[in-house]
Amino acid sequence: MSTSRPSFLLVDGNNILHAWEDLRKLLRSNRERARLELARILTEYRQFSGQRVVLVFDGRSAQAVEEREAGGIQVIFSNSRQAADGVIESLVRTHAATYELIVATDDRAVQDVAVGAGAEAISAAALADRVAAGQKEMARWLDRHRKG
């Protein structure tokens, strides 16, 4: 993808919670802590990648809720009548012509909609790889600047 347009990473929160082993374990005992941990990981990713991140979860209330985390990521909880998938699909259809969008999910239907609308789709494993690579890059950067 070129860098001429602003880029956003749209993350299917519940899908990632179930796909990443550490988060899946945490999810079994405490759903809110698992969500917060994913938000923390993505906030850190945003800080070293510079990429804008939108984390979308299924909601329980009548209205969608949007929050901004301290680290600059946007968190959206869908309304009770619409799954997070629908929110992601709507965002992709609305913004793919304006922004470079990357959708992180293992949900094949959401991936198909994303690609069909002009976004890039990556799997939960590919997102984990990007996060891990970014963490290694940040650790190297910190090492260089501590010694220098």
Residue 98 domain flag: yes
Residue 2 domain flag: no
Separation of alpha carbons 65 and 85, rounded Å: 15
Whichever domain contains 109, its CATH number is 3.40.50
The model's pLDDT over 25-51, given as tens digits with 9 standing for 90+, comes to 999 999 999 999 999 999 999 988 889
Residue 143 domain flag: yes
Cα dist from 96 to 10, 99, 113, 122, 138, whole Å: 11, 5, 11, 15, 29
Residue 122 belongs to domain spanning = 7-147
Separation of alpha carbons 66 and 70, rounded Å: 13
Contact 80, 62 (CB under 8 A): yes
Residue 1 domain flag: no
Residue with tokens 């990429």: 51
What pTM does this model have? 0.89
The model's pLDDT over 92-114, given as tens digits with 9 standing for 90+, comes to 999 999 999 999 999 999 999 99
Residue 122 domain flag: yes
Separation of alpha carbons 89 and 111, rounded Å: 9
